[in-house]
Amino acid sequence: MPLTVAHPARLRRNQPAVAEDLAQQASCAREPGRILIVGAGLCGLACADDLVRLDHSDWLLLEASATAGGLASSVTDSAGFTWDLGGHVVFSHFGEFDRLLSELFSDGELLRHDRSSFIRFRDRWVPYPFQQHVHCLPTEDATACLDGLVLAQRQGGVGRDADFGTWLRATYGSALVEWFFGPYNTKVWATAPELMSSTWVAERVAPVDLDQILTAATAPTVRRAGRWGPNATFAFPISGGTGEISRRLAARLGPRVRTRARVVAVDAAVREVVLAGGERIAYDHLVATGPLDQLVAMTMGASAGVRAAAGRLRHTTVAMVGLGYQVPTTDVRSWMYFPQLDVPFYRATNFSKYAPANVPGSDTRTFSSWMTETSVPDGAQVDQATLIDSCDRALRRHGLVPAHAPLVSAHLEVIPYAYPVPTLDRDAALAEVVPWMEESGIYPRGRFGTWRYEIGNMDHAVKMGIDIARRLVRGAAEELPNTRTVTVAGGSRS
């Protein structure tokens, strides 16, 4: 017989919650009751951690996997190489994330790096951002890029509602799009740019500094590498990979972080979740940090319209291939981008450069490691041997690994939900789904809870977790955009 975890809130509740006005939210914030968190990624862990900080003891965190971490997890293979689930680096927009890192890591336990990233173009490496370094291209190619860029900039761009493909051409010109932005973004997203919105690009796609580009092209003595973006400098744990952050945070939260506890159903009417073994757990508020489309699919009471809207959300699947070599780590660069169609991966990360402990015995005089990321169609089967071989040959072909360096480790991880795709109808779909969820006491947060790539970094996840904890306990406003209000053409819904 399924086990039921009783809770007084169930005795008080006989119908779904309705939309709350501000006064009701404040009242709820004084007596939040049981807060159930689903998903022990950084968002869920940060939420639980802040509930402790707020002296709210009635909470429980459920994680389907055997360990905490979610997308920010790390694994160590049988050969002793450590791998992340994708290319993560630690940087911050928020004091809350900085504070958390300072609590979890002592001085010297985070290594600091200046970003050094490049794009492979024809026979050369072009510094990132590509459009700021067209002077590094062959003369004929540089001229074509500059002509197209100047023409695009003089024509004045496009409106907010433009698709991503149109935005790229209007911003960078035809040559830059043909040679880099078009093929690279198609590889990353496994989606044509014309099928994507352009509303997410603000801090994700480097803007054009036309004066600097023209100066670099005409005055070689003042050329300088671009330092654009929040990850121009970044940190990385000295050992354990990115997953060390989650491991330390989960450890200090203790036994109320329950692993191997997979939620298979949510009953919004009575506010209960059902676990894979049949156990039922009641809640007053549910903070859900997993994929929003999966959450809707398992939530009883969701209307056909809400289910249809969630079904329109799209995401990428990424195959991370980690390759360890018996050759010293000598390359000083951080990561490289590959728009070429004959290279399976879109990005290769010099992972042993991030931290020596990522290789066996921290011996970077003997070993090096490269982490590659390849987008695959959703639901497609990955031929592991073929992909590993293809990635290995591409690294050697482009000079990142010596031709005869012994390959001593090959590790593959398929990440089913890697990035939420900002499709043209994403915001309209979210406007249908998120308000209904919150009216039912369910708060989707994190990269795939909000389904917003533009607020999908680790620091964003921590900030979302902290903010929803403060909202539920104190009635405080959430600071990140798009965590409470979904904007669509013609207005917004909160």
Query: DSSP states of 5-28 as a string?
Result: E--HHHHH--S------HHHHHHH
At 246-278, the pLDDT tens digits run 999 999 999 999 999 999 999 999 999 999 999
List pLDDT tens digits, range 106-122. Answer: 989 999 999 999 999 99
Q: 338 and 462: one domain?
A: no
Residues 57, 180 share a domain: no
Domain-located, residue 300: yes
| Structural domain contains residue 252 | no
Please tell me whether residues 356 and 384 are part of one structural domain. Answer: yes
Residue 225 has pLDDT above 80, yes or no: no
CATH label of the domain that carries residue 374: 3.90.660.20
pLDDT above 90 (res 477): yes
The two tokens of residue 81 are 């190489």
Residue 4 — pLDDT band, cuts 50, 70, 90?
A: very low
CA-based nearest residue to 285, from 92, 443, 71, 401: 443
Angle at 389 between CA 385 and CA 393, to 5 degrees: 175
Q: What is the pLDDT of residue 12?
A: 35
Out of 396, 421, 446, a domain closes at: 421
How many other CB atoms sit within 10 Å of the CB of residue 4? Answer: 13
- Encode pLDDT of 331-354 as tens digits: 999 999 999 999 999 999 999 999
Kindly tell me if the per-residue pLDDT of 8 is higher than 50: no
User: Please, are residues 184 and 337 in contact by the beta-carbon 8 Å criterion?
Assistant: yes
Residue 26 has what pLDDT? 44
Provide mean pLDDT across the span 465-492: 73
Which region among 21-30, 317-326, 366-375, 381-390 has the lowest average model confidence (pLDDT)?
Answer: 21-30
pLDDT at 64 over 90: yes
Domains: count for the chain: 3
Same domain? For 320 and 309 the reply is no
**At a CB cut-off of 8 Å and minimum separation 6, what does 176 contact?**
130, 131, 134, 145, 148, 149
Which run of H or E residues covers position 413? strand 407-421
Same domain, 84 and 51: no
Which residue range forms the structural domain that includes residue 146? 129-222
Domain match, 279 and 321 both:
no
Which of 392, 421, 450 is a domain's end point? 421
Both 45 and 140 in one domain: the answer is no
DSSP class of residue 90?
B
Residues 320 and 408 in one domain: yes
Of 350 and 205, the structure prediction assigns the larger pLDDT to 350
Domain boundary among 376, 395, 421: 421
Domain-located, residue 251: no
pLDDT band at 485 (very low <50, low <70, confident <90, very high): very low
Q: How confident is the model at residue 7 (pLDDT cuts 50, 70, 90)?
A: very low
* Whether 411 and 427 share a structural domain: no
pLDDT in tens, 352-361: 999 999 999 9
Mean pLDDT of 47-58: 97
Residue 98 lies in a domain: no
Task: Give tens-digit pLDDT for 360-371.
Answer: 999 999 999 999
Q: What is the structure's pLDDT at 206?
A: 63
Residue 431: inside a domain:
yes
Q: In this predicted structure, which of 42-51, 212-221, 305-314, 378-387 has the lowest mean pLDDT?
A: 212-221
pLDDT given for residue 435 in this prediction: 96
Domain holding 48: CATH number? 3.50.50.60
**Domain co-membership, 309 together with 321:** no
* pLDDT exceeds cutoff 80 at 433: yes
Question: Model-level pTM?
Answer: 0.88
CA distance 170 to 162: 10
250 lies in some domain: no
Please compute the mean of the pLDDT values over residues 397-410 and round it to a whole number.
97
- Average pLDDT of the segment spanning 30-58: 94
Under 8 Å between Cβ of 446 and 43: yes
The verdict on 309 and 436 lying in the same domain is yes
> What pLDDT sits at residue 13?
37
Contact 68, 257 (CB under 8 A): yes
Q: What Rg, from alpha-carbon coordinates, does the chain have?
A: 24
CA distance 462 to 464: 5
Q: Could you tell me what percent of the chain has a pLDDT over 90?
A: 77
In a domain, 255, yes or no: no
Per-residue pLDDT band for 159 (boundaries 50, 70, 90) equals confident
Asked whether residue 100 is assigned to any structural domain, the reply reads no
Q: What is the CATH number of the domain that holds 147?
A: 1.10.3110
- Give 153's pLDDT tier (boundaries 50, 70, 90): confident
Same domain, 437 and 307: yes
The residue with tokens 């969820």 is 437
